[in-house]
Amino acid sequence: MIATATEEALKGSTTMIDHAASKAAVITFTKSIAPHLAGRGVRADVVAPGPTWTPLNEADANMPPDGLARIGSESPVGRAAQPEELAPTYVYLASEADSPYTVGEVIAVTGGITDTR
């Protein structure tokens, strides 16, 4: 089982409180059930992406005019991730050959943003 959270769940958020809190719950839930599932041969882990570019960004009616240009700009990488940059993390966790001992873990794919705030 691979759950998706957000880097906001790891550090909190002053602007997206509900989003950060709900994704923190996803992390805690996944970590809590992981030992139970592992005994049945099922691994449960979490991917916590940082700012990621998706078509939903453009469709967000609440996005300020300069908001699209700023997504991810605060990260050391200086930009938002592309979905294909997150995909290898999911493939790693889905692979029994590559991650058989990875249970109840959170992998942050943030462009370094989690360590910068």
Model confidence over 56-83: pLDDT tens digits? 777 877 777 787 778 888 888 888 899 9
CA torsion, points 68, 69, 70, 71, in degrees to nearest 10? Answer: 50
Task: Indicate the pTM of the whole model.
Answer: 0.89
- The token pair at 81 is 């991730």
Q: What was the pLDDT predicted at 16?
A: 85
Of 66, 71, 33, give the one whose Cα is nearest residue 49. 71
Question: What is the Cα gyration radius of the chain?
Answer: 15
Query: If DSSP states are collapsed to H, E and C, what string results for 41-83?
Result: CCCCEEEEECCECCHHHHHCCCCCCCHHHHCCCCCCCCCCECH
Domain boundaries, the chain: 2-109
Query: Taking residues 10-19, what's their average pLDDT?
Result: 90
- Domain range 2-109, its CATH number among 3.40.50.300, 3.40.1010.20, 1.10.3720.10, 3.40.50.720: 3.40.50.720
- The token pair at 69 is 């240009």
- Does the pLDDT of residue 117 top 60, yes or no? no
pLDDT band at 115 (very low <50, low <70, confident <90, very high): low
Least confident of 20-29, 57-66, 94-103: 57-66
What is the 8-class DSSP label of residue 96?
T
pLDDT band at 116 (very low <50, low <70, confident <90, very high): very low
